[in-house]
Amino acid sequence: MKRSLPLLVLSLSACAPSVRDLVSHRHYREAVCAASEGAQPAVVRRALLRDLGLQVHAQVVRSSTFDAISAQRAARSPRVLRLLRVDVLSNALPVDEVEIEGALSTDGDSWSVRAATIGNFAQLTRERLPRERVGSTYFTGPNVLRGMAALVTGGLSLLFSPMQRESYTIPPRPDEIARSAPLAWDLALYVHRDGCERSGSGGARCQWYAIVDERATAPLELRLAMRYRADGLGSRRSCSITERVTVALGEVGTLDRTLSARFGERARSLEELSTNATDVAGSR
């Protein structure tokens, strides 16, 4: 950036800009770095959350396969399991990254809420996932260096640092999983969009699935963590602040009815939902 000399001279005693001005003009990169240094983090947090404009939708997913497995399992142990889907959409903010993480929680035992992973589905269907295989190789970075040292020293270095085999794991191939755990694979196919991606507007589009046990007594909550990152200038790296918001989704026992009545087909903004901003943390 080029500056003229008079401007430079005038700015010799440059002072910090007001955080409220930064926020009102949406200079959120500066505001994030200010908040990470402890300059009015609550003001920055409120403004970021307001402009992030989160929209949330939750629903119980109807799957004949899942319901059959759930009923079969319920016959053995008194559980009623539901497959839940949560969608979140955000506005695009003038920061370098917004990272959104979501988690569902309630009370109860370990089956109260579980991520809809193929491992958890396989546990439900009592199918066995194929094991990871272990391979080994001599072609590693350290061995390349050892080889170069051997060339330079005429092989003498290998007396002190011989080539070593390193092992690595090979995950099972999808067709192996489908063969050995067909029901779990069946369920998992429809929840593979788990996570966040950039939407057309530049904001985040997130989708999460979870398995919920309807016997849990505490209300189900969606816990969202938003990490805002701004890149530094010059020798400064990046700075970030994290905020956590809890959205109450309703009683677990009546989730189906509650979510249908509350959301229907339309996503709701955070203002329409009962939320609780719980935490903000900064890092430089």
Partner 1 sequence: MVTAPLGVLFTSVLSTIAPLPPSSQPSQPSQIEPRFARPASIVEQGPSPEYYRTDPNLFALVLRTQLGAHVRVAPSAGVAFSIDALAGLSMRVGRVSPLRALACVGYHYVGFGSHFFVLQTGALLDIVEEPQSRKIVSVGLTVDGLAGAQESIGALGVRTSLLLSVYGLTVSAGHQWTRSPSGDVHEAHFMLGTLISLGGSR
**Binding residues for partner 1 restricted to 3-32, rule: CB under 8 A:** 3, 5, 8, 11-17, 22, 25-31
Q: Which of 230, 241, 252, 280 binds partner 1 (CB under 8 A)?
A: 230
Q: Diameter of the chain by CA atoms? A: 82
* Closest by Cα among 220, 172, 21, 192 to 116: 192
Stretch that binds partner 1, among 72-80, 84-92, 147-155, 245-253 (CB under 8 A): 84-92
Q: What does the alpha-carbon distance between residue 170 and residue 132 come to, in Å, rounded to a whole number?
A: 6
**Count, residues near partner 1 per rule CB under 8 A:** 102
Q: Is 283 in the site for partner 1 (CB under 8 A)?
A: no
C-alpha dist (Å) from residue 176 to 116, 128, 133, 271: 20, 11, 12, 46
C-alpha pair distances (Å), 187 with each of 52, 125, 183: 32, 10, 6
Taking the complex as a whole, the smallest distance from the CB of residue 83 to partner 1 amounts, in Å, to 7
| Count of Cβ atoms closer than 10 Å to residue 68 Cβ | 12
- To partner 1, the closest distance from the beta carbon of 129 in angstroms equals 9
Taking CB under 8 A as the criterion, the residue among 97, 232, 248, 283 binding partner 1 is 232
Smallest separation (angstroms) from partner 1 to the CB of 124: 14
Of 217 and 254, nearer to partner 1 (C-beta) is 217
Can you name the residues that pair with 81 across neighbouring β-strands? 213
Residues 112-141 that bind partner 1 (CB under 8 A): 112-119
| DSSP bridge pairs for 230 | 239
Question: Is 210 one of the binding residues for partner 1 (CB under 8 A)?
Answer: yes
For partner 1, the binding residue among 43, 73, 79, 91 (CB under 8 A) is: 91
Six token digits for residue 74: 């319920």
Is residue 31 a contact partner of residue 23, using CB atoms and an 8 Å limit?
A: yes
- Range in contact with partner 1 (rule: CB under 8 A) among 136-144, 149-157, 248-256, 258-266: 258-266
Q: Roughly how many angstroms between the first and final C-alpha of the chain, as a whole number?
A: 24
Q: Which residue has the tokens 């909550």?
A: 221
How many residues are there in the chain? 284
Q: For residues 217 and 107, what is the distance between their CA atoms, to the nearest angstrom? A: 7
Compute and round to an integer the Cα radius of gyration of the chain. 26
The verdict on 155 binding partner 1 (CB under 8 A) reads no
236: contact with partner 1 by CB under 8 A: yes
CB of 141 to partner 1, least distance (A): 23
| Contact string 159-198 vs partner 1 (x = CB under 8 A) | ------------x-xxx-xxx--x--xxxxxxxx-xx---
Q: Which is nearer to partner 1, 154 or 200 (CB)?
A: 200
Q: Is 233 in the site for partner 1 (CB under 8 A)?
A: yes
Helix/strand/coil for 246: strand
Q: Which is nearer to partner 1, 150 or 203 (CB)?
A: 203
CB of 213 to partner 1, least distance (A): 10
